[in-house]
Amino acid sequence: MTSSTHTPRYYALLPAAGVGARMAADGPKQYLTVGGKPMLRHAVDAFRASELVAHTYVVVSAADGQIDAVLPPELDGVTVLRCGGATRMDTVLNALRALRGVVGEGDMIMVHDAARPGLTPALIARLIEGVGDDAAGGLLALPVVDTVKRAAGSPLLSAATVPRAGLWLAQTPQMFSYALLLRALAGAPDANAITDDASAVEMLGYAPRLIEGHPRNLKVTLPADIRIAEMYLAAGEQG
């Protein structure tokens, strides 16, 4: 139910049901300590510190035994949903269905990776302001600045140089109206082909806005990324 008189509320949604296989850790990477506290808690605290965010939802698997220690039930402004799915898309879709009637169709959902601890309230505000009332929503992203090579063969060879003009690296949060995001994910033909929420929205013919983010908002994927994230966290809020 979107209209010109509707003033949307902004909600954060963090899928955190993954196992973090590439980190070579003993458990899910969102619980690894970065700069003195779990990665997931850094991301949640950024949303809690933003006056623009009405509420934050964190989605974990039903069997998750660590979440209560990281996000105690009494923590203000946060609700844990235990409806994580087999894929990231399934997890977000399950959460959206669980929030039907709680969140309005015209309210805005900011989906954020639990493994991006460098998010700040300033970046959240930049995304909200940059998207404005665009029906297609938008996402934080960074323009590609390095020369891009296409690899081939074994051993790997530089087979071609790919023009970088117009190329951006997607970050999160990615923000869309509840109704649009639900329709996009529910209608996606292959959950494994949806690498981010914007790709599902694009399949409907929408072109989400690209809002320039910040390198500090990197996704921790490999063990070496933890040190980089800690350097940004130690430098204080930027962006």
Helices and strands (H and E) in the chain: how many: 7, 11
Residue 86: Cβ within 10 Å count: 11
pLDDT of residue 2: 44
Tell me the one-letter amino acid at 223. P
pLDDT of residue 1: 40
User: Does residue 27 have a pLDDT over 80?
Assistant: no
In CATH, what number does 10-234 get?
A: 3.90.550.10
Q: Are 18 and 25 in contact (CB under 8 A)?
A: no
What span, in angstroms and rounded, lies between the C-alpha atoms of 41 and 31?
8
User: Does residue 59 have a pLDDT over 70?
Assistant: yes
User: How far is residue 59 CA from its own chain's centroid?
Assistant: 12
What span, in angstroms and rounded, lies between the C-alpha atoms of 49 and 68?
20
Q: Is 208 helix (H, G, I), strand (E, B) or coil?
A: coil
Report the predicted TM-score, pTM, of the whole model to 2 decimal places: 0.93
Percent share of the chain, pLDDT over 70: 94
pLDDT in tens, 87-106: 999 999 999 999 999 999 99
pLDDT of residue 26: 62
What span, in angstroms and rounded, lies between the C-alpha atoms of 42 and 113?
11
Give bridge partners of residue 11 from the DSSP assignment.
55, 109
If phi over 0 gives left and psi between -120 and 50 gives alpha, with beta otherwise, what is residue 222? beta
Percent share of the chain, pLDDT over 90: 88
Question: Which residue, chain included where needed, has tokens 């934050």?
Answer: 56
